[in-house]
Structure 1
Amino acid sequence: MRLPSHGRYDYAPITRRPDYVWPNGTRLAVYIGLNLEHFAFGEGLGAELAPGGPQPDVLNFAWRDYGNRVGVWRLLDLFDALSLPATLLLNSSIYDYCPEIVAPFRSRGDEIAGHGRSNAERQSIMSEADERLLIAETTVAIRHNEGQQPAGWLSPWIAESAVTPDLLAEAGYSYTLNWCHDDQPGWMRTRGDGKLLSVPYPQELNDIPAIVARKIEAEAFADMIIDQFDEMRDQAVAQPLVMGIALHPYIVGQPFRLRQLRRALAHIAGVRDDIFLCRAGDIAAHAAAILPPA
């Protein structure tokens, strides 16, 4: 019996794939995906600290806005203190609302990846024309402000339509973070001649599913990061692997969570010479140069 399939990739067990190394002979690549998000007031989607009431939902809107006003600056200090690179997963409406939060990351040389216009909307329910427009408007805004085409994309809410990978390849994106099906990068099939690489993005080591959905405490989330890192370092002896950490300033930027996050990230930074501590785009560029075509 054959079930419906997406057709984007074939099954390939991780135990039977070509071997390679990351730069400097390392085996584990680690990156931080920092979600910088902006939400509509009084309408649309948004994570909830507490069950939302009728709109305008001031409690949850203000909780999310804390991330842009306070949390992101605390995380910036943490990344600077530990010399950690980052990939910003950026809602393009940030440029209109609070462009100040992008500037210091730009100065650090961090990567800016597309993350839609706003996390108040979901592209999977759009028509192909409307989704193409969403991707185009996001891309133009980033290119205008950063002076270059973004290489990577993460859909708001990880929401894809049946044609999202095709539209991303056609818009000039070289990698997507939408799929959490693997611990290694791999090629996605797209229509036409477009090439799109999937770079692993975490849905377990991600503060929204862990803290908001499953109500995991800050100390336990930090322990998850440390355990994931230590176990993947051991596993990477056999295969080159990718470990991502997905963070949102309105969640881990809260002081009591930040203190625990600092413990986890310091654990990783302490052995930086033994790993490829990088940006998601660095992983994509290295893998694209050595992986055989799909």
Structure 2
Amino acid sequence: MDDARHGRYAYSALPDRPVYDWPGGRRLAVYVGLNLETFDFGTGLGAELAPGGPQPDVLNYGWRDWGNRVGAWRLRDTLNALGLPASVLVNSRLYRDCPGLIEAFRARGDEIVGHGRTNAERQGTLPEAEERALIAEATAILTREEGRAPAGWLGPWISQSRVTPDLLAEAGYRYLLDWCHDDQPTWMATRGGGKILAVPYPQELNDIPAIVARKETGRQFADAIVDAFDEMLEQSVAAPLVMGIALHPYIVGQPHRLRPLRAALAHIAAHRNRIWLTTAGAIAEQIYAEASRDPKGL
């Protein structure tokens, strides 16, 4: 493989692709990606509310931990009130660290997506054998707890090595979320002649880049969600699109951010008769089903 090229997919211009519908004749699929994450105390990676001091960084650790203790439950109530499904991106150690948290979203019928072991680490920096072991450990725990293997994966910190898609396909995953290169699902080649599906995951409509990195307010983030939705709904007349919204409880679960977020999600929910409110996994399965009916079509 040319080191300057990934070799996973070829260039494809959106206007040149086949036009198809999502279920019910809809053209815009919308899903919420809710990140439920755990962090190590006194070490490892973690988003920061304020510049961290020497470890243990209690200020930022406590801010993140608040998300699992308080913010996640407020977001659950918001999703319940609006009748919105979610793809819940789960660090496997949460079953140990926050008993009852993932179970509450399982009870809603949400999709449980693999998200590594903990967000205190990146997988893309590991040697291949260690990365394979990380995927295997997280997958085994989610499979045991949920009674079935997760179909999708998002690496902690959107971290991938050059072989991550290969390892995920070999571990039985059907789709990944790390690549944000398109507004439609994309087939990615894997070694041995295999493939895995990349489902669009947002980095613009994602509260960490928006609020932590770009310092947007909660209301600016909510306005961006509404503007993106309205524009994509219009654009989807010409082509089927996927709109994801990536949320983290310790950020948008905060009361001053939750209120404008709730209004933005309500705006989307009010259009439920025109869109497909769904999960990332259901989007992937729809593409797999279409490909099985017409292998050359998608």
Q: Give 1:85 shift.
A: 0.0
Q: Give 1:228 shift.
A: 0.3
| Equivalent in the alignment of 1:110 | 110
Alignment of 1:4-153 (within 5 A): 4-153=4-153
Alignment of 1:105-254 (within 5 A): 105-254=105-254
Query: How far, CA to CA, are the matches of 2:222 and 2:124 in structure 1?
Result: 32
| Equivalent in the alignment of 1:276 | 276
Distance 1:221 1:148, change over 3 A: same
Residue type matched to 1:123 in 2? Q
Residue type matched to 1:216 in 2? E
Distance 1:3 1:106, change over 3 A: closer
Residue type matched to 2:43 in 1? E
Q: Normalised by the size of structure 2, how large is the TM-score?
A: 0.97
Query: How far, CA to CA, are the matches of 1:167 and 1:3 in structure 2?
Result: 19
Query: How far, CA to CA, are the matches of 1:147 and 1:186 in structure 2?
Result: 28
Aligned length: 293
Query: How far, CA to CA, are the matches of 1:284 and 1:43 in structure 2?
Result: 36
Query: How far, CA to CA, are the matches of 2:163 and 2:218 in structure 1?
Result: 37
Q: Give 1:193 shift.
A: 4.3
Gaps of at least 5 residues in structure 1 are: none
Q: Give 1:99 shift.
A: 2.5
- Cα deviation, 1:80-127, whole Å, max 9, x if unaligned, reads 000000000000000101121111211111000000000000011100
Query: How far, CA to CA, are the matches of 2:44 and 2:3 in structure 1?
Result: 34
Query: How far, CA to CA, are the matches of 1:136 and 1:172 in structure 2?
Result: 10
Query: How far, CA to CA, are the matches of 1:159 and 1:3 in structure 2?
Result: 18
Query: How far, CA to CA, are the matches of 1:98 and 1:274 in structure 2?
Result: 37
Cα RMSD (Å):
1.1
Q: Give 1:51 shift.
A: 0.6
Q: Give 1:195 shift.
A: 2.6
Query: How far, CA to CA, are the matches of 1:275 and 1:221 in structure 2?
Result: 21
Query: How far, CA to CA, are the matches of 1:246 and 1:218 in structure 2?
Result: 14
Q: Secondary structure in 1 aligned to 2:47?
A: coil
Gaps of at least 5 residues in structure 2 are: none
- Cα deviation, 1:161-202, whole Å, max 9, x if unaligned, reads 010000000000000000000000010000124331000000
Query: How far, CA to CA, are the matches of 1:168 and 1:83 in structure 2?
Result: 31
